[in-house]
Structure 1
């Protein structure tokens, strides 16, 4: 037979375990939502960077073509350069986010140990 004091101690322990599991589930759901929004923000950031590169290239090319009287040559050239610049900035942003995620994962791994 189990001593009443021992039984009460086990019930308190079970209650603590249930509370910790609920807190862990709540943190997991919150983390998933934060990750979802951060991924969406990253995608929009990359789209904006690419469109900005194209827009700036278009503006410079069109202006140079109007100034020199050579209509499509510089427009096409600077649009391609703007596209290349936009892709380069996107790749830099992706590398930055990857470094941040690796640092966060390393911190989580250190906490577990």
Structure 2
């Protein structure tokens, strides 16, 4: 029953009344502007370089290789440490020392593998 005071939504709120034809005109203008932007984006997508899926697959391969190099180094070091602890009875020192050595070997293997893949030309010298 807010009509009694002359306020029913927008009419008494100080905002100007906009006719349906004016709103339809604005909507058509906005639609044409959006069509222009979409057409420009389509043209840009056609001319832009499409991302190469083989490069992302190569990156995933490298990531798995580096991760496995590191994990293998740590596991081999821990295994050797456990064997030494078991036979010499010096637990846990063999495991600690050889796990740290395995960690270092894993880092060195990762650095070596990353250096091989980042190289553009084959190393000089050799066979």
Give 1:62 deviation, angstroms.
Answer: 0.3
The Cα RMSD (Å) is: 1.8
Larger RCO: 1 or 2 (CA < 8 Å, sep 6+): 1
Q: Quick one: which of 76, 93, 102 aligns to 1:73?
A: 93
1:98 maps onto 2:82 in alignment: no
Structure 1 residue runs without a partner (length 5+): 1-21, 104-113
Q: Measure the CA separation in 2 of the matches of 1:97 and 1:39.
A: 10
Q: Measure the CA separation in 1 of the matches of 2:86 and 2:58.
A: 42
Give 1:87 deviation, angstroms.
Answer: 0.5
Alignment of 1:1-113 (within 5 A): 29=50, 32-99=52-119, 102-103=120-121
Moved more, 31-40 or 58-67: 31-40
Deviations 1:10-68 (A, max 9, x none): xxxxxxxxxxxx8x97xx54x62100000011000011010000110011000000101
Number of positions where the alignment pairs a residue of Structure 1 with one of Structure 2 = 76
Deviations 1:80-111 (A, max 9, x none): 10010111010011111110xx34xxxxxxxx
More helix by share: 1
Q: Which runs of 4+ in 1 moved over 2 A?
A: none
Give 1:73 deviation, angstroms.
Answer: 0.4
Q: Measure the CA separation in 2 of the matches of 1:34 and 1:64.
A: 45
Instruction: Point out the structure with max Rg over C-alpha.
Output: 2
